[in-house]
């Protein structure tokens, strides 16, 4: 079975969201991101958006931490979809 993405253009947005959530959770990922850096601040510094093209290792994080990021991504995407549907 081919693993074609439904919306290939969404990769960059999902990568940005992944690093924003990691920052919110205080996870040490990325070059400029340290513990307890707030998302807005990281975005202003350009550190969150600069990750989109780079491959960073998440291997030093626990499965629980990685799962928390994935769970929050799913939660946030569902929340945004519901907000969009209810605003129509």
Residue 4 domain-assigned (yes or no): no
Give pLDDT, residue 76.
Answer: 94
Give pLDDT, residue 56.
Answer: 66
pLDDT level of residue 3 (50, 70, 90 thresholds): confident
Q: Which is higher by pLDDT, 48 or 74?
A: 74
Average pLDDT in the 17-36 region? 76
| Parent domain of 17 | 10-52+61-86
Counting the structural domains of the chain, the total is 1
Please determine, for residue 35, whether its predicted confidence score (pLDDT) is greater than 60. no
Residue 2 domain-assigned (yes or no): no
Give pLDDT, residue 79.
Answer: 94
Cβ atoms of 72 and 21 closer than 8 Å: yes
State both tokens at 10.
């969404």
Residue 24 domain-assigned (yes or no): yes
pLDDT level of residue 37 (50, 70, 90 thresholds): very low
Cβ atoms of 20 and 39 closer than 8 Å: yes
């Amino acid at each position: 079975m081919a693993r074609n993405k439904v919306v290939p253009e969404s990769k960059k947005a999902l990568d940005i969201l992944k690093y924003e959530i990691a920052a919110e959770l205080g996870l040490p990922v990325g070059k400029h991101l340290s513990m307890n850096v707030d998302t807005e601040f990281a975005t202003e510094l350009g550190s969150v958006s600069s990750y989109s093209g780079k491959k960073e290792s998440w291997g030093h994080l626990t499965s629980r931490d990685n799962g928390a990021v994935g769970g929050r991504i799913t939660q946030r995407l569902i929340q945004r979809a519901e907000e969009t549907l209810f605003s129509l």
